[in-house]
Amino acid sequence: MNLLMISGDRMAVQGKRGAFWYTLDEFKTHWDRIDVLCPRMPKNQRAKSNPLTEINFPELPNVFFHPSPYSLLRQPWWVAKEGEKLINEHGHSVLTVHEYPPFYNGMGAMKLHEKSNIPFALELHHLVGFPSPSSISERIGRIISRWVLPGEARSATAIRTVNNSVKSTLVDWGVSEERIHTVPSFYLDSESSKKFSDTEKDVDVVFVGRLVANKKLDRLLAAVASLSGVSLIVLGDGPQRKHYERISKSLKIEDRVTFAGWLPTRDDVIKQMQRARMLVMVSASEGGPRVVLEAMACGLPVIATPVGVMPEVIVNGENGLMTTGEPADIAEKIALLLSDNVWRERMGQNATDIRDKFDKKILVANYASFLQSLSASSDNSSSQ
C-alpha cells in the first residue's frame, strides 16, 4: 500500500534528523512506498538538488521527498498538480495532509481530492494561538482557523488530532465528533531515553525547542535572572536566537546561559538533556510539546505550562510541575525543585512511566492503521 503525505516540514528533505525524520524511520515499515510533498527548500540548499527530482536517502529507502520549486503562494496549485501526477504513477491508496495557517496544504489537498477522489485525512496537530496567542500573526491565525478549518474538515474523509484539547475545540466549532480521531504523535523511543542516564548533572535547567515567539524563552531567561547562580542550557535554533542572546546579555546572565544551537541527532539532544537537573517548557501554545515527554522518558523532572497534551499527562507534584508561565512563577518552581533533591529525583523517576503510554512502535502502528482504514472504508463504500 502506498501513501501520499503533504507536509510543512522543511528539515527531513535536507536530511536533518528531527521529529518528522524519526517518525518516517518507523513509519516506512508499514508502507510499500511513501511520497512526501513539502515546501521549497531553503535558498542555500536549492543549488544542491534539482527541485523537479525526487529526493531519497539510504536510511529511508522507500520514502521519496518532493520539495516544491515555488513559493508558498503557489503551493496549493503545485500540490494538486504534483500530487495528481504521483497518484497516476504510483497508485496511492490514501492521502494525509498536515494543516496549519496559511492553509496552503489543505487547499491543495482539497483540490487533489476533487481530482482523484483519493480518501484523505486532515491532520491538526496544533491550533495556532491556542490556548494563548503569542503574537499578532498568531492572533490572526487563531481567528482565521475558526472559519477555515470546519470547511476543510467537511471535505476530509477523517480528521486526526493528537490531543483531546484540539478535538474539543473542533467540536465546539461544529465539526462532527464522530469524524475526529485522536491519534497521538508523541513517539517515544524507550531504548534511546535510557541512554546517558549516568551523565553528570552540571546544569540546573535545560530548554529544548525552536527559538520562536510562542516558546516564550524570554520569560524563562527572566526567571533565571532572578535566581542567584542558576544555570541554563538552550538546545535549538531559530529566527529569534540573536534576540534571546541579547536579552541574556541585558539581564547580565550570559555567563550562566549557554546557547548550544541545533544538535544533529536525537542522541546528541538526549545526552545534553541528561546534563540538566530539570527541563522547563513555558510555551504559550503547543500541540505536545514532544520535548517535555522525551525529557520525562529520560527521567528528568519537568516544569511546563498547561498547553497541548500537558494537562493529560502531568500530575502536578507527582511527575512534573505546572506553571502559569509568568517569570515569578517559573522561578518559584525552579527554586522548589532545586531545594529538594529527594523530591526532584522521585519526580523524575515517576515521569519515566510515560514511556509505556507513548511507545513509538505502538503509536506509529496505530497511526498507520488509522490511515489504512480510510482506504479500506473507501473501497467498501465504492463497492456498495
**Strands across the sheet containing 257-261:** 257-261, 232-235, 203-208, 276-281, 302-304, 321-322
Q: Specify the pLDDT at position 376.
A: 72
371 in Cβ contact with 321 (< 8 Å): no
Residue 303 pairs in a beta bridge with 280, 321
pLDDT band at 384 (very low <50, low <70, confident <90, very high): very low
Q: Specify the pLDDT at position 52.
A: 54
Q: Tens digit of pLDDT for each residue in 232-269? A: 999 999 999 999 999 999 999 999 999 999 999 989 99
Q: At residue 49, does pLDDT exceed 70?
A: no
Q: Which residue pairs from 102-107 have beta carbons closer than 8 angstroms and sit at least 24 positions apart in sequence? A: 102/72, 102/141, 103/144, 103/148, 103/152, 104/72, 104/73, 104/75, 104/76, 104/79, 105/6, 105/7, 105/8, 105/75, 105/79, 106/148, 106/152, 107/76, 107/79
Average pLDDT over residues 2-15: 95
Q: Specify the pLDDT at position 131.
A: 84
**% residues pLDDT > 90 (the chain):** 84
**Chain mean pLDDT for the chain:** 93
What is this structure's pTM?
A: 0.86
CA distance linking residue 349 with residue 281, whole number of Å:
19
Q: Tens digit of pLDDT for each residue in 141-190? A: 999 999 999 999 999 999 999 999 999 999 999 999 999 999 999 999 88
Q: Specify the pLDDT at position 44.
A: 65
> CATH 3.40.50.2000: which residues of the chain?
2-187+359-383, 190-357
Q: Specify the pLDDT at position 331.
A: 99
Q: At residue 212, does pLDDT exceed 70?
A: yes
Q: Which residue has the cell 506553571?
A: 323
255 grid coordinates: 555567563
**Strands across the sheet containing 55-57:** 55-57, 60-67, 33-38, 2-6, 94-98, 120-124, 158-161, 180-182
What's the CATH code, domain 2-187+359-383?
3.40.50.2000
SS3 12: helix
89 grid coordinates: 504513477
Architecture of domain 190-357: 3-Layer(aba) Sandwich (3.40)
Average pLDDT over residues 269-274: 96
Among 25-34, 131-140, 202-211, 236-245, where is mean pLDDT lowest? 131-140
